[in-house]
Amino acid sequence: MNIKFVTPRGLLEAVRDVSLDIPEGASVGIVGESGSGKTVMSRAAMGLLSGSNVRRDGTVVFAGKELTAMTREEVRQEFGTGMAMIFQDPMTALNPVRRIGAQLAESLRVRLGMDKATATARCIELLSLVRIPDPEAMLRKFPYQLSGGMRQRVMIAIAISCNPKLLFADEPTSALDWEGNGKRVARLLQQVAREYGTMVLIVSHDPRLLDFADRVLHMDDGRLSEPEPKSRKTKESDKPDQESDKSDASEPQGKGVAAW
């Protein structure tokens, strides 16, 4: 994949010759400086980059479908149950004039066909899963009434609501206290990958979060590379935790179904 932006000073190469394959049930972490191309790559792979100033070369294959050969509407049909993203800035991703309950229930009703009562019960379950206190009251609130950390957790709940096959997580714990809720979210992403076979791509500056990924890559100046090998230390994800899942901690094996 190559991504370029047309600027007054010429073409800006944001992503250069990137190739990546994510197997079923695996989580891949991407680390790099701000502006290295991490977010651009993930948004381009999901089909969220558009405009006359964007130049994209290469192919994106997801679940046997070549997304780059599909129309925007066809790609949108994959959102929710196929692909989902946890955005870095939930205040701009959430609709400011719609209640949290309506935004969370929308994909459940549209993509999964749930009735109102079933969707509401699932919303409460999801908000409890991301440790939001009094989830029933939360359904009636608007985004501006929440703290940054609360909005981030709502975004995570929306992203995982339909059990997507491919989950993009763009700085999913940036607004969370690590010891309080960040670590729990990291374990939740790990659990989603291992129990549901979800492919997870994590973009983050926080090495503690990337410690929960099966594979970590470094991005610099738009290029992906393997990090320098280091002596193995006990990872946080290897440590016993009362709330962690009971699935096998070995690296998932399976046919890669997301590649670009």
Phi, psi of 14 (to 5 degrees): -90, -35
DSSP E strands, 92-227: 166-170, 199-203, 215-220, 223-225
Structure tokens that stand for 244 in this block: 């962690």
Instruction: Give the span between the Cα atoms of 13 and 257, in whole angstroms.
Output: 27
Instruction: Provide the pLDDT for residue 104.
Output: 95
Domain ranges of the chain: 18-82+164-175+182-260, 96-161
pLDDT at 52: 81
Mean predicted confidence (pLDDT) in 13-39? 89
Neighbours of 232 (CB within 10 A): 7
Per residue in 112-169, pLDDT tens? 999 999 999 999 999 998 889 999 999 999 999 998 888 988 998 999 999 899 999 9
Q: Is residue 111's pLDDT more than 80?
A: yes
Q: How confident is the model at residue 235 (pLDDT cuts 50, 70, 90)?
A: low
Q: How many CB atoms lie within 10 A of CB 134?
A: 11
pLDDT above 70: residue 188: yes
CATH topology of domain 18-82+164-175+182-260: Rossmann fold (3.40.50)
| pLDDT tens digits, one per residue of 59-101 | 888 888 888 888 888 888 889 889 999 988 888 889 999 999 9
Note whether 49 and 3 are within 8 A (CB).
Answer: yes
Q: Which residue has the higher pLDDT, 192 or 15?
A: 15
- What per-residue confidence (pLDDT) applies to 77? 87
Position 11: which residue type? L
